[in-house]
Amino acid sequence: MLPEATRYLKATVSLFSPNVFLNASKLSAHGAPSSLQTRRNLRVSHCFAARVPPQKKPREKVEIPGLEMVTYGDRMHYVPGLAKPVYPPWEMSFKDPRYYRSPPAQEMALYKDKPCYVFNQRTSILEGVRQAAWLTKTHVRPGLLPHLVSLAAKPENQLPDQDERVQNAIKHSRFWDTTEPRPRKEKYSNTLLLNLLHLCATLQPTHPAVGRRILAENYSLAATWKRGEDLFQIRGRNGLLHCSMDPLPRICGEQEVLETSDQVLESFYPVSPTIDLQQVSEGEYPYPHAHTLYFLETSDPNCQLRPEQFRAKMIMFTFGNALARAHKLYGPQSLLERPITVQAVGTNGRIFQFLVFQLNTTDLSGDDGIKNQAWLDEDVELYDFAKVRPFIKRKEVPAGLAGYKPETFSKFLALYLHGAA
Amino acid sequence: MALSCLTRALRSLTLSQPALLSSQTPVVQLKLGTLVPSTVSQCRGFLTTASLKHNRAYLKQLDKYTIRPIGIKKSGGRDHTGKIRTRGIGGGHKQKHRWVDFQRLRYEPNKEGQPFEEKVVEVRYDPCRSADIALLAGGNRKRWIVATEKMQAGDIIKTSGVIGRMAVSANEGDAYPLGALPVGTLVNNLEIQPGRGSKYIRAAGTSGVLLRKVNGTAIVQLPSKQQVQVLETCIVTVGRVSNIDHNKRIIGKAGRNRWLGIRPSSGLWKRKGGWAGRKIKPLPPMKNYVNLPSISAN
């Protein structure tokens, strides 16, 4: 150990040199040149040390092809007036995994010249729902289909004491779940969603199909499709995915599916539909069918999504799930015999967005033909206020839960029971 | 034990070439110009990975354009030596720099040569300049530009580099070469040399006037009434710069000046010299940026 230590110290010591300007300006942590470091003269006081003028850029070397440079390489020592010899970079003769540098992107095996536009869970696209509809070749309709909503109106599909239990769930998530005065938004929205899911799952004795489902957290999604000449990809880890063993039944009849081919997708000139997408150059599970996706608002300060962008993200991820399922079931053919339906619910703790997406075709290259369909119910409030303190700046505001709307939970329940009831 | 190693190493100090510390760090280049071997006061150079100098020029080192606001460090009027070079600057509210693209005619990578349109997404206040800035989105990219007077969110703005035979009737906010505009239009964000980016007429409420067009060049009157002759391919924006009431604002109190980062001037009474007072003098001669051999005399 000792000789090694002395060797190491000798190496450090040989850097000792009095009165030397250490030109450390070419070093950084990664061994790459950086101009963050500068020259220091440590033998004088700070005031004089700072008086060095800023470093000038070195003279640009001009390469004249065909002109042979006379270098001092042959003479093995520096000669003023001759050029500095340039040697080819040294490569190790054997492969050592500790010192492997990956080739630039152009020389990698999977490189493709065409750019691929990637949508991930933090993407916030400029035009919101319209851009998502164009990218997925979807016709978006406001409001949910009435036969879905009437599912929850039937008495056998309702919970005993439904309103009271939902209000208890809201109060639990908003008031009782913490030792601090108020729970934070990410916490209460998460608790509220899990409570509501639990309430819906208590219907399992009467609806046995509910038991053939499972919740998956933090799943990763990857789906690719071609639109026009560009490749698009969705990748990401999302919120909650509710998967089931049986697929969801189709929402919309054949006739209406054919009618969508007459509708035109909205365009938003001059903004290209690929704006805000990241440009990149190019497993058996017993519950295979994606049933519902649950989206929560993230607390990440870098990606605050406005409501429009949040709905766009819901559409894109629902589409991604449906597309992945379609590729798995039907392979590369374009028209699906049975359309794939996926649902999504997004919430910020108080306001809910419901989405039902039906994938009719995977032929997304052109703008005409059969389109996919989506029904989007925007900004449905579950309750108006859930205030902790009764007085806010001398104005009397009722503490506790106020303005509870039972229809929202019945929609939630309807989406949950769809396919099981 | 370690101390004895250290002293033994110090005693065997040599002036050989420095060895590599590990095979991964590149060789340190030492300037062995002035070497005075002295055993008493030895200054050891050392390397750190953190920045040794307080790096204030982060803004100047970025090469990829981004619309994200970038934090800036205030200089306080101090230069690289640490002494005040400009008096009266210091303090004030923190500001984030939004990188404004002054070269209006910047084509997207694959779409050179064609006039293009962009949509104004929002117009907002910029703490770093007197004018407002607008976020434009077009094609695949977004960028900030200096907003003109009546620009609003949702407008479509055209940028073109083509000079036709007939003058274009330009809308406010569009950018054209000087040769394509009719004489007498109010312009702003003037480029002196084509492709270098606009350097003139960028302050709030200012506008220049296109006076005349003379075989391949155009003469523009700047807000200071100085006239300037530039090539007609230089791009300008049409209209007045936004925030036109900027010169009518009243500061109101000393504190508001301090919020803007303006320190008080010295209160010492000084007799005013020849620089003070109203001056009436003729306009300076027209500045020519065209580098043409002058046909006229002189």
Comparing alpha-carbon positions, the chain B residue that sits nearest to A117 is: B140
CB contact under 8 A, A10 and B15: no
Range in A311-325, A401-415, B47-61, B64-78 the model is least confident about: B47-61
pLDDT tens digits for range B227-261: 999 999 999 999 999 999 999 999 999 999 999 99
Is residue A27 scored above 90 in pLDDT?
no
Mean pLDDT (chain A) is 78
- Separation of alpha carbons A272 and B108, rounded Å: 12
Range in A208-217, B63-72, B108-117, B193-202 the model is least confident about: A208-217
- Separation of alpha carbons A138 and A361, rounded Å: 10
With beta carbons less than 8 A apart as the criterion, state whether A20 and B35 touch. yes
Model pLDDT, residue A144? 76
- Separation of alpha carbons A218 and A237, rounded Å: 6
Model pLDDT, residue A42? 66
Domains defined along chain B, listed by start: 100-246 (2.30.30.30)
- Separation of alpha carbons B179 and B140, rounded Å: 29
Chain B residue numbers touching A16 (CB-CB < 8 A): 10, 13, 42, 44-45
Is residue A125 scored above 90 in pLDDT?
no
Is residue B196 scored above 50 in pLDDT?
yes
**A166: enclosing H helix or E strand:** helix A162-171
Q: Which residue has the higher pLDDT, B294 or A150?
A: A150
pLDDT tens digits for range A152-185: 778 777 888 888 999 999 999 988 888 888 888 8
- Separation of alpha carbons A11 and B22, rounded Å: 10
Confidence bin at B285 (pLDDT 50/70/90) = very high
For testing the chain A interface, which of B7, B16, B17, B31 should be mutated: the one with the most A CBs within 10 Å?
A: B31
Mean pLDDT (chain B) is 84
CB contact under 8 A, A37 and B53: yes
**Shortest Cα distance, chain A CAs vs residue B128, angstroms:** 23
Range in A21-30, A301-310, B163-172 the model is least confident about: A21-30
Model pLDDT, residue A267? 65
Please say whether the dihedral angle defined by the alpha carbons of residues A95, A99, A104 and A109, taken in this order, is positive or negative: positive
pLDDT tens digits for range B213-230: 998 999 999 999 999 999
Structure tokens at A316: 């894109």
Is residue A18 scored above 60 in pLDDT?
no
pLDDT tens digits for range A184-208: 888 898 899 999 989 988 888 888 8
Tell the burial category of B190 from Cβ atoms under 10 Å away from its Cβ (0-12, 13-18, 19+). Answer: buried
CB contact under 8 A, A270 and B116: yes
CB contact under 8 A, A27 and B47: yes
Confidence bin at B263 (pLDDT 50/70/90) = very high
Q: Mapping DSSP to helix (H, G, I), strand (E, B) and coil, where does residue B198 land? A: strand
Instruction: Identify the DSSP state of A142.
Output: E
Count CB pairs under 8 A between chains A and B. 144
Strand partners for B117: B158
- Separation of alpha carbons B230 and B210, rounded Å: 11
Nearest CB to B9; choose among A13, A26, A47: A13
pLDDT > 70 fraction of chain A, expressed in percent and rounded: 81
Nearest CB to B53; choose among A14, A38, A42: A38
For residues A237-263, average pLDDT: 76
Residues ≥6 apart with Cβ < 8 Å to A327: A223, A362
Model pLDDT, residue B145? 96
Nearest CB to B18; choose among A14, A19, A42: A14
Contacts 24+ apart (CB under 8 A), A377-380: A377/A142, A377/A143, A377/A144, A377/A353, A377/A411, A378/A142, A378/A307, A378/A311, A378/A353, A379/A307, A379/A351, A379/A353, A380/A351, A380/A352, A380/A353, A380/A354, A380/A405, A380/A407, A380/A408, A380/A411
**Shortest Cα distance, chain A CAs vs residue B151, angstroms:** 17
Q: What angle is formed at CA B12 by the lines to CA B11 and CA B16, rounded to 5 degrees? A: 135
Is residue A70 scored above 50 in pLDDT?
yes
Range in A127-131, B142-146, B216-220, B274-278 the model is least confident about: A127-131
Angle, helix A307-330 to helix A129-136, in steps of 10 degrees: 10
Nearest CB to A274; choose among B18, B26, B140: B140
Instruction: Identify the DSSP state of B262.
Output: B
Tell me how far the alpha carbon of residue B103 is from its chain's centroid: 11
- Separation of alpha carbons A262 and A106, rounded Å: 42
Is residue A17 scored above 50 in pLDDT?
no
**Shortest Cα distance, chain B CAs vs residue A373, angstroms:** 26
- Separation of alpha carbons B61 and A235, rounded Å: 32
